């Protein structure tokens, strides 16, 4: 296992380098000079000021030289400074990452809380009204965009029930845990509901396959109770592929937080990313993509390691 983890960690290096280079090139391929945007219309013609800004933020020279210089700063854990606010990107992400991680963790919790019970019930009651209802529910969650549900809930709930409107100011968890959870509950539920559709369908398919195995028939023949067969024997093996689906949904989850944080005015990494794209803030865009890439690759590694924890028969060499 140690050799497998070490090999995966080494393979992450070229993956991260490829991601960073692609993002580095793409953001600079967008038409327009970011220095003109920083200076505004009054300083757009001042060449001396432009050159000073390019030197200050490492924008001088060709793109390869800029990339190498930027990689050198990343190795020293220096993500640079925002072109617009001139604030340290590292300190901004340090404040915003916990907010996004909390939203993502709550969304995954709600996703599993909805998907696994409904998927299991749909499988063990195959071709009954419960199965049809579960599959229809899953298709509905997959079809409805989460941003549309969020806007609809805000509009209808505010008009008819006087609740659901995002507060004017974000409430940190450390200041008021109850108020923070009330604020994050609805965004996390909407985001988790969107993710639960595919997990639910995959849980049902995996559970049906396990229930047809010989050892499950043997358990029925021994006279074991249905609850014991489902929970102790079937679910443990059926959930192994489901973990893969949850791990592969992390990029989708990151994309969802970008939209939900914008709709609900949550000061997380996704909202910060949207504003940086609007302003062509290169350091912020690059830093956020590095964080997302790290989360995805380490999450995939964690999923692979969890296989051997859930099923001791699985071993890596």
- 243 exposure class (CB count in 10 Å sphere: 0-12, 13-18, 19+): middle
160, pLDDT greater than 80: no
pLDDT at 140: 84
Tokens of 120: 């299991």
Instruction: Report percent pLDDT > 70 for the chain.
Output: 89
Average pLDDT of the segment spanning 106-127? 88
Asked if 183 contacts 265 with a C-beta cutoff of 8 angstroms, the reply is: no
pLDDT band at 182 (very low <50, low <70, confident <90, very high): confident
CA distance 278 to 234: 49
CA distance 13 to 17: 6
CA dist list (Å): 106 to 153, 173, 189: 19, 13, 8
Residue written as token pair 């990339």 = 67
Distance in angstroms between the alpha carbons of the first and the last residue of the chain: 6
What are the φ and ψ backbone dihedral angles of 88, each rounded to 5 degrees? -65, 125
pLDDT band at 41 (very low <50, low <70, confident <90, very high): low
pLDDT at 162: 62
- 96 exposure class (CB count in 10 Å sphere: 0-12, 13-18, 19+): buried
pLDDT at 278: 80
Contacts 24+ apart (CB under 8 A), 175-184: 183/264, 183/266, 184/102, 184/103, 184/106, 184/266
Nearest to 289 by CA among 14, 15, 18, 23: 23
Average pLDDT of the segment spanning 119-140? 86
44, pLDDT greater than 80: no
| Model pLDDT for residues 211-244, shown as the tens digit of each residue | 888 888 888 888 888 888 888 878 877 877 787 7
Nearest to 277 by CA among 293, 259, 260: 259
What pTM was computed for the model?
A: 0.81
65, pLDDT greater than 80: yes
Average pLDDT of the segment spanning 259-287? 84
What are the φ and ψ backbone dihedral angles of 81, each rounded to 5 degrees? -120, 150
Mean pLDDT of the chain: 81
pLDDT band at 314 (very low <50, low <70, confident <90, very high): low
pLDDT band at 269 (very low <50, low <70, confident <90, very high): confident
Average pLDDT of the segment spanning 289-306? 81
pLDDT band at 210 (very low <50, low <70, confident <90, very high): confident
Nearest to 184 by CA among 298, 106, 84: 106
pLDDT at 167: 65
| Model pLDDT for residues 165-177, shown as the tens digit of each residue | 666 678 888 888 8
Instruction: Report percent pLDDT > 90 for the chain.
Output: 0
- 156 exposure class (CB count in 10 Å sphere: 0-12, 13-18, 19+): exposed
- 118 exposure class (CB count in 10 Å sphere: 0-12, 13-18, 19+): buried
CA distance 90 to 99: 15
Q: Which of 7-21, 123-137, 139-153 is the least confident region?
A: 139-153
pLDDT at 253: 77
């Amino acid at each position: 296992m140690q050799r497998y983890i070490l090999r995966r960690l080494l393979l992450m290096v070229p993956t991260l380098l490829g991601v960073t280079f692609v993002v580095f090139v793409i953001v600079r391929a967008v038409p327009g000079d970011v220095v003109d945007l920083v200076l505004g219309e009054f300083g757009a013609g001042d060449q001396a000021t432009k050159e000073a800004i390019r030197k200050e933020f490492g924008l001088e020279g060709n793109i390869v030289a800029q990339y190498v210089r930027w990689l050198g700063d990343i190795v020293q854990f220096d993500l640079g400074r925002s072109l617009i606010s001139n604030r340290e990107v590292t300190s901004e992400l340090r404040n915003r990452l916990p907010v996004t991680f909390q939203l993502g963790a709550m969304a995954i919790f709600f996703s599993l809380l909805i998907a696994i019970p409904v998927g299991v019930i749909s499988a063990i009651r195959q071709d009954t009204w419960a199965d049809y209802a579960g599959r229809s529910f899953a298709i509905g969650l997959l079809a409805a965009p989460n941003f549309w549900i969020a806007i609809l809930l805000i509009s209808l709930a505010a008009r008819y029930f006087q609740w659901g409107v995002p507060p004017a100011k974000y409430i940190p968890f450390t200041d008021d845990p109850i108020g923070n959870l009330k604020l994050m509950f609805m965004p996390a539920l909407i985001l988790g509901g969107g993710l639960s559709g595919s997990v639910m369908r995959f849980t049902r398919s995996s559970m049906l396959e396990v229930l047809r195995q010989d050892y499950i028939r043997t358990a029925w023949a021994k006279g074991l109770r249905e609850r014991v067969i489902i929970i102790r024997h079937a679910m443990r093996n059926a959930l192994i592929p489901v973990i893969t689906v949850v791990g592969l949904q992390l990029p989708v989850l990151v994309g969802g937080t970008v939209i939900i944080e914008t709709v609900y005015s949550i000061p997380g990494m996704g909202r910060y990313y949207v504003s940086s794209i609007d302003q062509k803030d290169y350091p912020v865009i690059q830093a956020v993509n590095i964080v997302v890439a790290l989360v995805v690759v380490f999450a995939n590694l964690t999923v692979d390691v969890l296989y051997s924890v859930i099923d001791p028969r699985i071993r890596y060499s």
